[in-house]
Structure 1
Amino acid sequence: MQRKSFEIPKALVWASYQDVRRNRGAPGCDGQTLKMFDQQRDRNLYRIWNRLCSGTWFPPPVLEKRIPKSNGRERILGIPTVADRIAQGAIKRFMEGKLDPIFHVDSYGYRPGKSAHDALKQCATRCWRYSWVLEVDISAFFDHVRHDLVLKALEHHGMPKWVLLYCRRWMEAPMQSCENGELINRTRGTPQGGVVSPLLANLFLHYAFDLWMEREYRGVPFERYADDIVIHCSRMSDATRLKSRLSDRFSSVGLSMNAGKTNIAYIDTFERRNVATSFTFLGYDFKVRTLKNFKGELYRTCMPGASKSAMRKITETIKGWRIHRLTDKSLLDFAKEYNAIMRGWIEYYGKFWYRNFSYRLWSAVQSRLMNVALLRSERRSNAASGMFMT
């Protein structure tokens, strides 16, 4: 029996397939859905494993998908095919077991056992101890990741040559335009939407940011969720100097900070003029708010709540449901159709200030349900009038 070039366990491919089934997702450039893949599942999985082991897995182009952003711009995703997602997932599982233990404790994005809520909770705790926050925004981060630095980091951690081979191929895979099908070659960046991309992005920022902070600003706390970063400072002057040095650091690794979105904010119960007094992190606005305790007494504290942009998106989504036209459906029908979506919103945005978010959410829904009830009431009233007149 001929020995394979690379020893890749079949179990990795099978586990990755199970991950892809759970996550579902849209088809890539070949149009193959998961249902179509499953029609010859065993044969397809064997082909993936065989080609990975022989070094002949060449990823097809990723399919461009444009997602509108709240600022009017678009986020560009690169969607791999179902088969390529499985191949990426197998290699990602191999790498993750070796790389995740070395990552910084305050790196939260796309890591086993860590979540956005963990990052938000730590951020809220530190806002009570530090008065100033540097909110960092990296311009088009996933589009500017340097391939040579990622491969250098992988090699530094002793990754076998087949890992380097496939990571290079995935990072360099062309993108197929969603408008005309044209192939766009890539010399930097890692496709947002790829299975392996978040892990490679974390590895890149582990060296570009996390370890740099440990070396240059030991003791200065931060939270990083992928490329969303918040740094806590005791004084405004500290935050200003750090902002300048961080800009230079990012420039040295091929990144740049978004000047319009990288801000310094003052978060304290003592009022201060001519400075920003809030910042946004992972869909939450952090600011000092006036609240009531269980005795009804007022007090001021930093409390994270659903951001204005998040509430805007939620309201637009609810408007899109066109509840006012559902006059032929019962409340039970409405609940069956939309409860899962609303439950997801509450689970994410109601974590820290449940009463406030649930009130804002139900206000948006109930006002529309009231209109439906009024329309039904008018119909019944008109029907009764008609019966009386006859």
Structure 2
Amino acid sequence: MSAFTDLYSFNNLKLAWQRIRTGQNTFYKSFYRHTYDAYAISLEKNLQLLSDSIRTSVFQPSSSERIFIPKNNGLQRPITLLCIEDQIVLQAIANIYAIKFRSKRKLVYDMGVCSNRLNRNPSSIFFYERWQDSWQLFKKTVFSNYDAGFRYVADFDLSAFFDTISHDLIVKQYAPKSGNKDFCDFVKVCLKTWTPENYTHGIPQGPNASSFLAECVLLPIDKAFENSVCKYVRYVDDIRIMGKSYNDVHNGVVNLDTLCRARGLIPHSGKFGIKQAKSRTDALGSMPSLSYSEDLFKYPVKTRKIFYSSLTNKKDHIRDPSRFKYILYRSNPDEEFLRHALRLIPRHPELIDTFAFYLSRFGQRRKITNQLIRLLKVGSPFEYIEGNYWLLLASSSSQTQIAKVIYPAINRHKQLNGHPLMICIGIYNVLNESKDLKVFNYLCKSLKKETMFSIRTNVLAKLTPKSNSLAFRRLIKTCLQDSSIDVAVLSAWYIGYHGLPIDKFKVDQSSIAPQALNILISLGIVKGKGPSLVGSLGILVSRRLNLKKPWSGWKRFLSVDYKHCHRLFVLAEKAFDESPTTWMGCMDSFNDLVIRHLLEQLSAKYPSLKIQKTISKNGELIDFGVILQPGSYLERNEPNLHKFFNNFHLRRNKLPTSHAKDKKTQAVSRALGRQERNEYVNTLKKGYNEFFKIVGREGL
């Protein structure tokens, strides 16, 4: 088969999808968490649609969107946001390149090329080896060379590396003799579309796949140093030329400079210099090399010592960003650290993600809100910074404080020129916290007019559903019909996740994006051709929990909530392999409805007994955690059932998607791993075996 045929094969597209989901580029993927979950609901059908569209030349890549992250030199690093199917296509392209260049890249591993090493198993769903291992290898290689007498070191860096890579060069690397024309033409069309202003150079920075294409471009340069008297060590575009004399290193640098410029790559003049290293650490340079153990934080005195060592003597600036970030990402909320963090935020825009992560752990705090309001009044030249200020304001403010900033937020939104991505996302999140229906309608109307898929998906995922709002219903209808696949599939997921009736939105099925329609069909929300539900709910539950036989009473037992429970279970199943954390969240919602129906039916059968209520006197649902709390009806009367469901719910509360930290212990929330997920499947099996005993005993 040709490279182009291999590219759009279903197996390659599915492998590309799996490698995206398992990639370690967590910052990039954080913009797509709900979109990934949505697309996965009807994965096979949608991947087949994608395959057919590429094969028949119907597929057209979409324009990318960009955010700009502040750097410590006062400039910005561009991150390219691709729509979900473009990400799959880019990774599928990288898969084809990996097949051709796997053996060639192995030849340069031993000489010191440490970054983006392919997984040893060519068919693995993990594209690379762990970056942590590759980074440690880079350090060890530099240290080993230093110990061997290579004490003269040149730090060589490429300026705007990803933005300067030529599309022609990428294609020629794969087909130097102009073969595989269909494949090469397709690659060039995609890269040009994803590049701002349709330039013929530049690849998207952010997706894992781009890093491998960049490695392929650097391969001839790597090989040129195979027999050099110098030692050549590289991690992405950070290169060390190490020699036993100044002249050896200088000659190596001149050679490297010539090789890079011949490929249109631009050396960073401000970062170049030859020095005689005084130590291993000096040879490594300014790159972070911390290796503290997390046990360190059992000793608060030592933690504070490291924290303050990262600051200047006056504590008004950060002199060691690596230590500072290390402490804030791992330490518990601390009032003293908070005081310093709030003062240092405006002085170090390059560390905004670190500050945002740490401040989010404190929940609603007036001190944080007041500082954010002051910072917003002062303003920032960085869109990314202001956007994060608004996002933090949304999460740290009480309803009273939110009410005070709503209209300043709306006024700021009206003043915006264009659609600055991060600022819009931040302001919309603040508006979503308001209880005022007028504000909500303004939010929906504004979101309906947005043209950037990244804004709409990131805001829609968190939007509070209010079916009584006409603006809300029009927004969802528009999103279902949107030309952006990301927006359409997320709106379909949104309807299923919140159990919203599709007829509320008065949308013609023929106008819904095919990928979104597949999701709605998979969730049983609409009928039609496409992927059908995998059997009844009884079969699904039985299959996942490995029960002896399916229970046929689900539809009768759940009554009006049957369809919603079915959707929740399908959502959980789609996330089972690739996102255990999402799986647990969906399953806990499923358990919530099951337990509520159990209590309501027991209460109807035994009205004289004081059985736990599921709805409060003012008509609001009682929290699932309250229903399961110590001393509850279930704990007293059905202790075995209570134990298993409560254990599952307590673990769900400790997920990052539920809470930043444990309320009692203040332990940092942990994502659910695959092994732990399997243990909780067994917990559910025991819990539902107890459930079936009860419904059998009571004739429910």
With the shorter chain as reference, the TM-score category is: 0.5 to 0.7
Superposition deviation, residue 62 in structure 1: 1.8
Distance 1:73 1:327, change over 3 A: closer
Which residue is 2:237 aligned to?
227
What amino acid maps onto 1:9 in structure 2? S
Superposition deviation, residue 26 in structure 1: 4.4
Which residue is 1:165 aligned to?
185
Range with bigger deviation, 91-100 or 131-140: 91-100
Q: 2:222 is matched with which residue: 178, 196, 210?
A: 210
What is the alpha-carbon distance in structure 1 between the residues aligned to residue 267 and residue 9 of structure 2? 41
What is the alpha-carbon distance in structure 2 between the residues aligned to residue 246 and residue 228 of structure 1? 12
Q: Which of structures 1 and 2 has the bigger CA Rg?
A: 2
Which residue is 1:261 aligned to?
271
Distance 1:308 1:157, change over 3 A: farther
Cα root mean square deviation, aligned: 3.4
Distance 1:9 1:18, change over 3 A: same
Which residue is 1:107 aligned to?
113
- Does the CA-based 8 Å contact 1:128-1:268 persist in structure 2? no
Superposition deviation, residue 202 in structure 1: 0.8
Distance 1:284 1:269, change over 3 A: closer
Q: How does 1:17-166 map to 2 (within 5 A)?
A: 17-23=17-23, 25-27=29-31, 33-103=35-105, 104-105=108-109, 106-113=112-119, 114=129, 115-129=134-148, 130-156=150-176, 160-166=180-186
Residues 280-304 of structure 1 show CA distances to partners (whole Å, capped at 9, x for unaligned) of 265339xxxxxxxxxxxxxxxxxxx
What is the alpha-carbon distance in structure 2 between the residues aligned to residue 125 and residue 78 of structure 1? 36
Secondary structure of the equivalent of 1:334? coil
Q: 2:247 is matched with which residue: 206, 216, 237?
A: 237
Secondary structure of the equivalent of 2:5? coil
Which residue is 1:6 aligned to?
5
Q: Kindly indicate which of the two structures has a greater share of residues assigned to helix.
A: 2
Distance 1:281 1:120, change over 3 A: farther
What is the alpha-carbon distance in structure 1 between the residues aligned to residue 98 and residue 179 of structure 2? 11
What is the alpha-carbon distance in structure 1 between the residues aligned to residue 234 and residue 179 of structure 2? 25
Q: TM-score, normalised by structure 1?
A: 0.66
- Does the CA-based 8 Å contact 1:265-1:277 persist in structure 2? no
Distance 1:252 1:58, change over 3 A: same
- Does the CA-based 8 Å contact 2:164-2:202 persist in structure 1? yes
- Does the CA-based 8 Å contact 1:133-1:233 persist in structure 2? yes
Secondary structure of the equivalent of 1:88? helix
- Does the CA-based 8 Å contact 2:230-2:248 persist in structure 1? no
Superposition deviation, residue 309 in structure 1: 3.4
Distance 1:56 1:193, change over 3 A: farther
What is the alpha-carbon distance in structure 2 between the residues aligned to residue 187 and residue 269 of structure 1? 43
Residues 310-351 of structure 1 show CA distances to partners (whole Å, capped at 9, x for unaligned) of 2244456564325996899889632234x78xxxxxxxxxxx
Distance 1:123 1:157, change over 3 A: farther
What amino acid maps onto 1:50 in structure 2? D
- Does the CA-based 8 Å contact 1:120-1:282 persist in structure 2? no
What amino acid maps onto 1:284 in structure 2? S
Distance 1:333 1:157, change over 3 A: farther
- Does the CA-based 8 Å contact 1:32-1:81 persist in structure 2? no
Q: TM-score, normalised by structure 2?
A: 0.38
Distance 1:334 1:34, change over 3 A: same
Q: 2:323 is matched with which residue: 311, 332, 357?
A: 311
What amino acid maps onto 1:200 in structure 2? L
What amino acid maps onto 2:181 in structure 1? K
Q: Which runs of 4+ in 1 moved over 4 A?
A: 276-279, 315-318, 322-332
Distance 1:331 1:194, change over 3 A: closer
Residues 146-188 of structure 1 show CA distances to partners (whole Å, capped at 9, x for unaligned) of 222221111038973343133212321245xxxxxxx632221
Residues 110-130 of structure 1 show CA distances to partners (whole Å, capped at 9, x for unaligned) of 122452222221121111111
Which residue is 1:280 aligned to?
285
Range with bigger deviation, 75-84 or 104-113: 104-113
Distance 1:74 1:88, change over 3 A: same
- Does the CA-based 8 Å contact 2:152-2:276 persist in structure 1? yes
Matched, 1:197 2:210: yes
What is the alpha-carbon distance in structure 1 between the residues aligned to residue 260 and residue 74 of structure 2? 26
Residues 87-130 of structure 1 show CA distances to partners (whole Å, capped at 9, x for unaligned) of 22223222212212102223222122452222221121111111
What is the alpha-carbon distance in structure 1 between the residues aligned to residue 30 and residue 98 of structure 2? 24
Residues 130-156 of structure 1 show CA distances to partners (whole Å, capped at 9, x for unaligned) of 111111111111111122222111103
What amino acid maps onto 1:204 in structure 2? V
Secondary structure of the equivalent of 1:229? strand
Secondary structure of the equivalent of 2:73? coil
Superposition deviation, residue 77 in structure 1: 1.1
Q: Kindly indicate which of the two structures has a greater share of residues assigned to strand.
A: 1
- Does the CA-based 8 Å contact 2:229-2:243 persist in structure 1? no
Across the two proteins, how many residue pairs are aligned to each other?
297
Distance 1:26 1:54, change over 3 A: farther
Secondary structure of the equivalent of 2:97? helix
Range with bigger deviation, 154-163 or 117-126: 154-163
Distance 1:248 1:21, change over 3 A: closer
What is the alpha-carbon distance in structure 1 between the residues aligned to residue 46 and residue 323 of structure 2? 43
Secondary structure of the equivalent of 1:156? coil
What is the alpha-carbon distance in structure 2 between the residues aligned to residue 32 and residue 326 of structure 1? 23
- Does the CA-based 8 Å contact 1:144-1:188 persist in structure 2? yes
Which residue is 1:291 aligned to?
none
Superposition deviation, residue 278 in structure 1: 4.9
What amino acid maps onto 1:111 in structure 2? R
What is the alpha-carbon distance in structure 2 between the residues aligned to residue 21 and residue 145 of structure 1? 26
Identity %: 21
Superposition deviation, residue 76 in structure 1: 0.3
Secondary structure of the equivalent of 1:138? strand
Q: 1:252 is matched with which residue: 255, 262, 287?
A: 262
What is the alpha-carbon distance in structure 2 between the residues aligned to residue 281 and residue 137 of structure 1? 12
Secondary structure of the equivalent of 1:336? coil
Superposition deviation, residue 20 in structure 1: 2.4
- Does the CA-based 8 Å contact 2:97-2:213 persist in structure 1? no
- Does the CA-based 8 Å contact 2:153-2:243 persist in structure 1? yes
Secondary structure of the equivalent of 1:166? helix
Range with bigger deviation, 159-168 or 41-50: 159-168
Secondary structure of the equivalent of 1:112? coil
